[in-house]
């Protein structure tokens, strides 16, 4: 019987988000007959219970891990990671999230883990940043990629930007789209919108704007509330529902109250019925300052709901302006307001965008397809496969780096 590959999945925390849901999905779906799965995180987050319920995996917590930079705790975390890697001798360490990627790649390199896989969740630098900040993020990204054997991108546009920016070499890059239960969104999209609204307690004649995102500063939800402030007096039937939790919640609640938007804007927290919420909505928005390729984009397309989103690198791969939705200049609240208003006034355009989005849907987002590609990729890294070109390349790079 062939030896199982030993794989460690690492992230800082398990709060609700695309990175964390990806770690959960991989831990749950990897074939336990072929892979021995370990997960490392700080023990906190709303997805912790979901991780605990996955059979056949080993979970290890490092309490010093935290999301924000902390030199002392970060150093302790690297030492703890190195000790764990030494004790378990994994074949592969995969890390996701900017902080986890930096710490995990350094620790795995020092522990001489054969393959260090960086799941790139999005590009951290962009042209809107001040030059010193952008250069700092580019430097950190280059360092993380240098310590990693392979960088797995979630979109082709992310891959191209890494190459154009000189962050790493083409032979280090792979593209594997993030997967989820696509069939559930397609099924929800076939349900009657008015029946869903009745079940949700939503008025049948309201214009529903839905945003699904963390309530964190990078998601910039405040811009959506500012657009709501402009639209509410002219379109009193317009409602804004925001699904998510995060550190910005109190600030957003205060803004809603101070601007007297409590009858128009609602923070729903985390919900398990996102497919139904999307189907019942008229438009799905996203106001992030930066993204890799957010799942919410293809999820809305699967339900036949048009998109209005800030222009970020990854989003352009699936949202084509005036085809399946409207791309808005990042940070431009006036343009965001106008885009939502355009769809309020044009039911035909909403229908056309929704239908076109469904036709353009990328089926690589299906969880089964993602896992098939990922398992094939992991298997190609098997230390026993001496003839594998990637194995030879990664081993040679690791040897060179250690000299």
Answer yes or no: do 226 and 173 share one domain: no
Look up the pTM and report it.
0.89
Residues sharing a CB contact under 8 Å with residue 8, sequence separation 6 or more, in sequence order? 38, 39, 40, 84, 85, 88, 90, 92, 93, 94, 113
Does the structure show a pLDDT above 70 at 355?
yes
Does the structure show a pLDDT above 60 at 385?
no
pLDDT band per the 50, 70, 90 thresholds, residue 382: low
Answer yes or no: do 197 and 134 share one domain: no
Domain enclosing residue 143, as ranges:
5-179+366-402
Q: Are 93 and 36 in contact (CB under 8 A)?
A: no
Residues 13-55 have pLDDT tens digits of 998 888 999 999 999 999 999 999 999 999 999 899 999 999 9
Q: For the domain that residue 320 is a member of, what is the CATH number?
A: 3.40.50.2000
Q: Are 110 and 81 in contact (CB under 8 A)?
A: no
Answer yes or no: do 173 and 222 share one domain: no
The 8-class DSSP code of residue 243 comes to E
Residues 155-190 have pLDDT tens digits of 999 999 999 999 999 999 999 999 999 999 999 999
Answer yes or no: do 117 and 238 share one domain: no
Answer yes or no: do 50 and 88 share one domain: yes
The span from the CA of 340 to the CA of 320, in Å, is 16
Answer yes or no: do 19 and 160 share one domain: yes
pLDDT band per the 50, 70, 90 thresholds, residue 129: confident
Closest by CA position to 15, among listed 244, 242, 184, 178: 244
Please spell the DSSP secondary structure of 163-179, one letter per residue: HHTTSS-GGGEEE----
Answer yes or no: do 109 and 27 share one domain: yes
Number of domains comprising the chain: 2
Cα atoms in the Cβ-side hemisphere of radius 13 Å centred on 402: 13
Cα atoms in the Cβ-side hemisphere of radius 13 Å centred on 314: 27
**What average pLDDT does the structure give for the chain?**
92
Q: Are 92 and 84 in contact (CB under 8 A)?
A: no
Strands 207-212 and 307-310, how do they pair? unpaired
Answer yes or no: do 55 and 123 share one domain: yes
Residues 96-127 have pLDDT tens digits of 999 999 999 999 999 999 999 999 988 888 78
Answer yes or no: do 210 and 126 share one domain: no
Answer yes or no: do 154 and 211 share one domain: no
Answer yes or no: do 81 and 61 share one domain: yes
Answer yes or no: do 133 and 34 share one domain: yes
pLDDT at residue 67, rounded to an integer:
84
Residues 299-309 have pLDDT tens digits of 999 999 999 99
């Amino acid at each position: 019987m062939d030896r199982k590959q030993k794989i460690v999945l690492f992230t800082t925390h398990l709060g609700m988000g695309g990175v964390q849901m990806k770690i959960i999905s991989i831990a749950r779906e990897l074939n336990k007959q072929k892979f021995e799965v370990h997960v490392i995180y700080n023990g906190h987050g709303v997805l912790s219970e979901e991780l605990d319920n996955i059979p056949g995996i080993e979970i290890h917590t490092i309490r010093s891990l935290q999301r924000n930079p902390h030199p002392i705790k970060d150093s302790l975390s690297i030492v703890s990671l190195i000790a764990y890697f030494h004790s378990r001798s994994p074949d592969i360490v995969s890390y996701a999230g900017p902080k986890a990627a930096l710490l995990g790649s350094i620790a795995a390199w020092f522990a001489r883990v054969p393959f260090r896989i960086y799941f790139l969740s999005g590009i951290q630098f962009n042209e809107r940043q001040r030059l010193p900040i952008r250069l700092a993020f580019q430097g950190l990204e280059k360092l993380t990629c240098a310590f990693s054997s392979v960088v797995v991108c979630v979109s082709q546009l992310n891959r191209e930007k890494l190459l154009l920016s000189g962050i790493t070499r083409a032979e280090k890059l792979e593209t594997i789209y993030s997967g989820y239960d696509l069939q559930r969104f397609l099924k929800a999209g076939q349900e009657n919108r008015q029946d869903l609204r009745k079940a949700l307690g939503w008025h049948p004649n309201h214009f529903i704007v839905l945003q699904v995102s963390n309530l964190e500063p990078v998601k910039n939800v405040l811009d959506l509330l500012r657009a709501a402030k402009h639209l509410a007096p002219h379109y009193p039937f317009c409602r804004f529902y925001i699904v998510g939790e995060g550190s910005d919640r109190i600030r957003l609640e205060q803004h809603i109250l101070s601007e007297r938007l409590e009858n128009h804007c609602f923070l729903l927290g985390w919900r398990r019925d996102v497919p139904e919420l999307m189907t019942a909505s008229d438009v799905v928005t996203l106001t992030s300052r930066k993204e890799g390729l957010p799942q919410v984009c293809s999820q809305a397309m699967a339900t036949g709901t048009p998109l209005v989103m800030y222009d970020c690198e990854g989003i352009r791969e699936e949202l084509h302006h005036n085809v399946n939705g409207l791309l808005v200049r990042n940070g431009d609240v006036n343009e965001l307001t106008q885009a939502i208003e355009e769809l309020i006034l044009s039911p035909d355009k909403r229908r056309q965008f929704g239908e076109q989005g469904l036709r353009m849907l990328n089926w690589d987002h299906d969880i089964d397809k993602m896992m098939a590609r990922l398992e094939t990729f992991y298997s190609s890294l098997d230390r026993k496969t001496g003839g594998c070109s990637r194995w030879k390349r990664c081993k040679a790079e690791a040897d060179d780096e250690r000299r």
